[in-house]
Structures are given as C-alpha cells and as structure tokens.
Amino acid sequence: MAENINQNPEQIARDKIDRMLVDAGWVVQSKNKRNLAANKGVALREYQTDVGPADYVLFVDRKPVGIIEAKREDEGYRLTVVEEQSKGYVTAKLKYLKMIRFPLFMKVQER
C-alpha cells in the first residue's frame, strides 16, 4: 500500500488500470511521448478529443479501437452518472490524428 501515499483516488485507479493494461500485453504511454509503432496494442493516457481528454485511447495497429474512462473504484455503482460523459466519445474526433472520428465506443468497468 505504500505506493498509494499522496495519491488521490483517481491516480490510484489509473495506476491499477495501467497495471491491468500492461498485464494484458498493452504498452501504456503518455500523450506527450506517444509512439503508436511501439507495440501492436498501445494505450495513450489523457488523449485529447474534441469533447475533452479521454483517460485512455486504445490503438491496435496504429488505429483507435476503444476508450477507457477511469473512475474511482467507489464510483462503480454510479456508472449511469458517467454515461453522458461517455456518450460524447462516441462521436468524438481525436486530436493529433487529423481529428479522425473514433470508430468504436467501449466502456470498461473494473471488477
């Protein structure tokens, strides 16, 4: 638990998501140090869309395939509250990629 010192709940959730993505074979990168060729699957943190930053945008073979919206663990029971935020990503355009439209929407909840 020492790793959680001075972290807010959102940071703790993102650390967990980072670990789960890495364990599943994804390369997790910062939006400022992106290299979509680093791996077949790349997850970019805080990627900018035209509706605001997405916590993670997932790329496979350099193409966007999903978005993960991180929430504190104790917010899981209130997922309907974040549906409006998530709906915006369905039609969002991604910055830095000539603002291409996002082809697929995916909502992931931690178990």
pLDDT tens for 13-62 read 889 999 999 999 999 999 888 899 999 999 999 988 888 898 999 999 98
13-17, 41-45, 67-71, 103-107: least confident range: 103-107
Amino acid code (one letter) for 99:
M
As for how many domains the chain has, the answer is 1
Half-sphere exposure of 103 (CA within 13 A, CB side): 7
Cβ(59)–Cβ(44) under 8 Å?
yes
Answer whether residue 68 is part of any domain: yes
Answer whether residue 110 is part of any domain: no
Tell me, what's the pLDDT at 78?
67
Range of 35's domain? 2-90
Best mean pLDDT range from 54-58, 72-76, 82-86, 105-109: 54-58
Cα separation, 47 vs 67, in Å, equals 10
Q: What b-and-e string marks burial along 48-71, b requiring 16 or more CB atoms within 10 Å of the CB?
A: bbeeeebbbbbbeeeebebbbbbb
Tell me, what's the pLDDT at 59?
93
Beta strands in 1-98 (DSSP E): 27-30, 41-49, 52-60, 63-68
List the one residue out of 62, 54, 58 whose CA is nearest residue 87: 54
Answer whether residue 8 is part of any domain: yes
Answer whether residue 102 is part of any domain: no
Tell me, what's the pLDDT at 89?
78
Tell me, what's the pLDDT at 111?
44
Tell me, what's the pLDDT at 2?
52
- Average pLDDT score over the chain: 79
Could you tell me how far CA 44 lies from the centroid of its own chain?
A: 7
Tell me, what's the pLDDT at 22?
97
- The three-class DSSP label of residue 1 is coil
